[in-house]
Amino acid sequence: MSYIVIKNKKGTVEKLPPSGYTSWLDFWERQKGQRAYQCKTIPCDGPADVGGHVIKSGEGGKEYILPLCYECNNKPDDTSFYARESDLVSVQ
Ligand SMILES: [Zn+2]
């Protein structure tokens, strides 16, 4: 299993989830068809507190949702994290 580098996307605090979803974490769970229990950055064993907005390093601004703990979600935007590509849900 190889990991990719992701970062928090800037300026997404006010962004509302798509119509019909109660939160970005709800969006992630229903797109994936599974519950989110743990923060999906590696290595972090924090809880899945929010559906965080992230970008792949080097890919530009394309936005994905990933379950994050508050601690990871609140790190500075230039902090690099590792994650599994298969855990990312694209935001259209
Ligand atoms: Zn975390």
Q: How far is the CA of 40 from the centre of ligand 1 (A)?
A: 7
Listing DSSP states for 14-79 in one string gives: TPPPPTT-SSHHHHHHHHHTS---B--SBT---B--EEEEEEETTS-S--EEEEE-HHHHTS-TT-
Q: How far is the CA of 24 from the centre of ligand 1 (A)?
A: 16
17-34 tens-digit pLDDT: 999 999 999 999 999 999
Q: How far is the CA of 46 from the centre of ligand 1 (A)?
A: 5
The dihedrals phi and psi of 28, each to the nearest 5 degrees, come to -60, -45
- Would you give the distance in Å from CA 69 to the centre of its chain? 10
Q: How far is the CA of 85 from the centre of ligand 1 (A)?
A: 16
What is the value of pTM for the model shown? 0.93
Residue 38: how many other CB atoms lie within 10 Å? 13
Q: Fill in the amino acid letter for 26.
A: D
pLDDT of residue 20: 96
Q: Which domain does 74 fall in, by range?
A: 4-90
Listed residues: CB within 5 A of ion ligand 1: 39, 41, 44, 46, 69, 72
Q: How many domains does the chain have?
A: 1
53-68 tens-digit pLDDT: 999 998 988 999 999 9
